[in-house]
Structure formats: structure tokens, C-alpha cells
Amino acid sequence: MKKVLLLAALAFGFNAFSQDAMTNKLLQTEITPNAAAKEKIEDIILKRGGAINNNYDYTDFLYQFYQSDMTLGAITTTPDSSTVIVYSDGSTGYSYNHAVGATYDFNYYGWADNEFNETDQITIDSLYVIGGYDIFNGNNADKIRFTIFKGGNGFSAPFAGVQYNPGTWAALDPTATPTAKTMDYAGSPLDGNQGGPTSTSTVTIDYNLSVADSGVAVVGVEVPNGGLTMMGNQLLGIFVEYLPGGMTTSDTINYQTNSGSMNPFYFYYYREGNTSAPQGYFIQDFDSTSTNCSNFLFNTTRYSAHDATSDWRNDQTSINMAYSHLISVTASGTSSIGVEDKDLTSASIFPNPTNGVVNIELDATADATVTVVDVLGQVIYASNESFVAGERKMIDLSKNAKGMYILSVEGEGVNTIERITIK
């Protein structure tokens, strides 16, 4: 019954109140990175970006378009809520979040040349997460644990989720009913590291933290036994935990004095700067079917604290579409996307991002129509052009608002569609 209810959760499951409550709590427990950490993370993202060389990172991809509206933050994560946390301003709290995660959809045209078809076989080779690791109390055999699994892209085990009402997110087509995916989860009231994803087939990989990981930690692991094989019509679930060594029920983390009985690990994320009026950047853009999404494991789910009409939240991870973790995947395989288009004329569109001026070049002589469409599907530019091979055509979009647009070049022998962003 739960899966049916989730489809009907449009009206009450993730309404404005619940989103605001989650956001407020996250902001209360957020760790603000220092300038050096922020610079290092931005350097990683700007050099890597999107799906390049078969590296998939949904946060990276959207950061390229929305970076001016993004804020870097982090949340401290421990296995249970017993750890007392003193923040840098002296306020005291507890561990609100116990794990992070993401679902990845490789059949998403935002991956461009690295998109896989639904019938393509994919191998998940390695996983990465970016976090902060402080050593307050020596090396306590702390570790990061990745749990991964695959499943159908639907509302059946091991995945769940919710569909949003049309018009919920300003960045999307107002007629779309976008879907955000979560992972099926079973909690436990017992102390320590308890509960986890309920997939019947998981792969677990541990990474032992060391002094070399202190500061900004880029934690990467290889998937054993040649990787995890899946199909392009499936989703990949990634569940990431920090497991401190020697944990007790009386541990402390003090950011004000850089001390405590437990070494802290905090997972970085990007969030929308304007959390009071989120645009929904971290739900699929211009695509009502893709399901790339970040997940949290909040203590309310860990301890089955939701009741009444919200009790369905107790057995799945949580989402917040204003946030996205820095989790990436390296995948390999042979994509059949665009195989039938190998003989088409190639179009180069640059620079991207742009200040409004966009150049277009074809590698052959052809007549084509250039069209630019905004996020609402409205045509803001259209022109019939006669291209000469290697000749550069310039279009000026500088009078339009900053944001993302779709530019298409279509004609006999040419069919190119590309997202561009005006900064």
C-alpha cells in the first residue's frame, strides 16, 4: 500500500510545511566551510564538471549552471543521535543526520555524450564523496562506508519516492510532474550503527580514514569484483555513512574548541542560497522522467518517529530539493545513444556558460534553423541560417534573463540540441 500512497503524496507528503521544517533544521545544524575549503571544493568541481570521461556527478552538472545561486555547506553525520555537538557559535545540538545518499539515473539526456540508453549495460567502477574530516582525538579507526544497489526506476523496492504537483518548482516546465526518488530503509532504536537500506542485494565498501584525509576529504573507493553491472533503465542507489571508531553513547564534538571524544566527519553539499523560496534546482531540469536525486537519513526516520499520515516516511530516506550532496560515480559501458546519428553534421556551440553571446559552427555546409527555448518552453529566438563549413554564426541573447536555455540547430543532415546558460 505504501507505494500507492507515495504516488498520491502530491497533496500532503512533501508539502511546503514539511520542506520548510527540514530546511530549517538543516540550516540550524549546518557547518560553514572556511575560505580554503570552499576554494578547494570549487576547484574540484570546476575542473571536473558534469559527466566527463564517464564521471557522473549531478551536483557538479547543475553547479555549472546555477553557481551564482549556490551556497556551500555541510552537515555533521554520526551513526545515531547520542553525540552532543557544540557548534562554533557555542550553541549545542545533536546529530540530526545519520547518512547521506543519492540515486543516479544514467538514462538522462543532461549527460549529453555520456548518456546511456535503457537497453545499454553499465558497469559502476568507483564511487566518490567529498566531506570534511577533523582529527580531534587521534586516529580512532574511523571509516566511510558505501552501500550500493540497483533496482527498477519505479515505485517498487528498493526505491520509493514522491511526485510533485505541476508548478511546484519554478525552474521546471510548469506542466511537468517531476519525481524525486528515495531509498527503502529500515531503522532501529538500538544504539550505534543500526539499520540501513533494505535492498535484497547490496555491495558494501569500506574506506579507512587517515591523517592524510584531514581537511577536505575526497573519499574514493573501487567497486570490488569488477564493478556492479546494471542496465540503463535501472537506478543506482548510493548510501554513505561515517562510522567513527570507539563510539559510545556519551561522545562529544566541540567545534568551538576543536575538541571532543569523537572525530567529526561532515558531508559537503551545495544548496540554494535562497532557501526561503527554493527553485528546485536539484530536481531534474527540463526532463519529467529522470530521477537523479540526493538523499538524507534524518533521525526521525532512523528512530521511526513519524506517525499518523507521515508514518510512510519511517521506511525510506528523505529528500530536500534545495540540497545536493557531492557524490559522484565513475561508470563504463558502450552507449547506443545516437548511434544512428553518426553521419550527421556536427555543430559546435560556444562559449557555454555565456554572457549572452553564443557562437555556432558546423563542420559542413548546410541550411538549418536555430531555435532557443526558455525553461517555460517559450521560443525566445528563432532564425533560419545558411552555414558554410567552419564559418562562425553569432547570436545575441544578452537581453534575456540569466539562467538555462535549450538551443537547437536542426536541418537536413544536422540535429543538435544543447543546454546553454546565460550568466
Residue 150's DSSP bridge partners are: 236
Stronger pLDDT, 20 or 23, i.e. the higher one:
23
Confidence tier at 103 by pLDDT (50, 70, 90): very high
Q: Do 379 and 250 have their domain in common? A: no
Please say which residue of 333, 355, 383 terminates a domain.
Answer: 333
Q: Do 225 and 344 have their domain in common? A: no
Q: Do 357 and 285 have their domain in common? A: no
Say if residue 7's pLDDT is above 70. no
Q: Domain containing 405: what range?
A: 339-422
Stronger pLDDT, 132 or 335, i.e. the higher one:
132
| % of the chain with per-residue pLDDT over 90 | 55
Confidence tier at 15 by pLDDT (50, 70, 90): very low
Averaged confidence pLDDT in the chain: 87
Please say which residue of 333, 358, 391 terminates a domain.
Answer: 333
Q: Do 299 and 375 have their domain in common? A: no
Q: Do 233 and 158 have their domain in common? A: yes
**What does the pLDDT look like over 146-181, one tens digit per residue?**
999 999 998 899 999 888 888 888 777 777 788 899
Say if residue 1's pLDDT is above 50. no
Contact predicate 171/419, CB 8 Å = no
- The confidence score (pLDDT) of residue 196 equals 95
Confidence tier at 338 by pLDDT (50, 70, 90): low
Q: Do 375 and 329 have their domain in common? A: no
Question: How far is C-alpha 17 from the chain's CA centre?
Answer: 23
Long-range contacts (CB closer than 8 Å, 24 or more residues apart) made by 47-53: 48/328, 50/110, 50/111, 50/112, 51/110, 51/111, 51/112, 51/113, 51/114, 51/115, 52/114
Q: Do 247 and 392 have their domain in common? A: no
Query: Based on the structure, what is the number of domains in the chain?
Result: 2
- The confidence score (pLDDT) of residue 210 equals 94
- The confidence score (pLDDT) of residue 195 equals 93
Q: Do 355 and 207 have their domain in common? A: no
Q: Do 209 and 349 have their domain in common? A: no
- The confidence score (pLDDT) of residue 4 equals 31
Please say which residue of 333, 363, 381 terminates a domain.
Answer: 333
Return the CATH number at 400: 2.60.40.3080
Q: Do 15 and 104 have their domain in common? A: yes
Q: Do 43 and 109 have their domain in common? A: yes
Q: Do 274 and 358 have their domain in common? A: no
Say if residue 285's pLDDT is above 80. no
Say if residue 280's pLDDT is above 80. yes
The pairing of strands 366-373 and 228-231 is unpaired
**What does the pLDDT look like over 364-396, one tens digit per residue?**
899 999 999 887 778 999 999 999 988 889 999
DSSP conformational letter for 413: T
As a whole number, mean pLDDT of residues 182-211 equals: 94
Say if residue 53's pLDDT is above 80. no
